[in-house]
Amino acid sequence: MSKIVIEKRSLRYDFSAVELHDLSLQLAKKNKEVVSLEEEKKAVTSQLAAKIKEADATVNILSEKVASGFEYREIECDVIFHKPQQGKKTIVRRDTNKKTAVESMTDYEWDLFNQPDENDTEDEDAEYQDMTDEDGGTKLLGNGDGQIGDE
């Protein structure tokens, strides 16, 4: 007497026409999903690339500031005309009260300030004083006694 045992084996199975049709619909749906995901990936990759580029630019700017130890900024300065001599102007930073430059006056400035006080003989290395009056205007240099401002 023969004994029959049931076991499973992987064997070829030919799909029916209905099964092939169902598989085709599933394939088309998944293919469409893949295309959509690839487009989304491109968009996200593009956005991330832009963010990375922006972050790299910031890193480069910060690195330059750290490496050089300075940056250029717009700093308010006082311009003292006919100092240290007639026809020259002294530029003084308002934030540190340090003299940053002595330059020749332009023709326009010379015409604007063509009446220097000849009695103003104060030493050019004297301590700088605030040159604005109570109303925020600029005080004129030299009051005839060799002092700056209202002293």
The sign of the CA dihedral 64, 67, 73, 79 is: negative
Predicted confidence at residue 111, as pLDDT, reads 81
pLDDT band, residue 118 (cuts 50/70/90): low
Q: Are 94 and 76 within 8 A, CB to CB?
A: yes
Predicted confidence at residue 59, as pLDDT, reads 97
Going by C-alpha positions, the residue among 97, 99, 101 that lies closest to residue 130 is 97
Q: Are 134 and 112 within 8 A, CB to CB?
A: no
Predicted confidence at residue 151, as pLDDT, reads 39
Model pLDDT for residues 33-82, shown as the tens digit of each residue: 999 999 999 999 999 999 999 999 999 999 999 999 999 999 999 999 98
Predicted confidence at residue 112, as pLDDT, reads 80
Look up residue 109 and give its two tokens: 């400035």
More confident of the two residues 109 and 23 = 23
Percent of the chain, pLDDT > 90?
64
Tell me, what amino acid is at 4?
Answer: I
Taking 90 as the threshold, does the pLDDT of residue 142 lie above it?
no
Look up residue 90 and give its two tokens: 């002294």
Taking 70 as the threshold, does the pLDDT of residue 18 lie above it?
yes
Sheet containing 99-104: order of strands:
77-81, 88-93, 99-104
Q: Are 83 and 98 within 8 A, CB to CB?
A: no
Taking 50 as the threshold, does the pLDDT of residue 145 lie above it?
no
Distance CA(125)–CA(99), nearest Å, equals 9
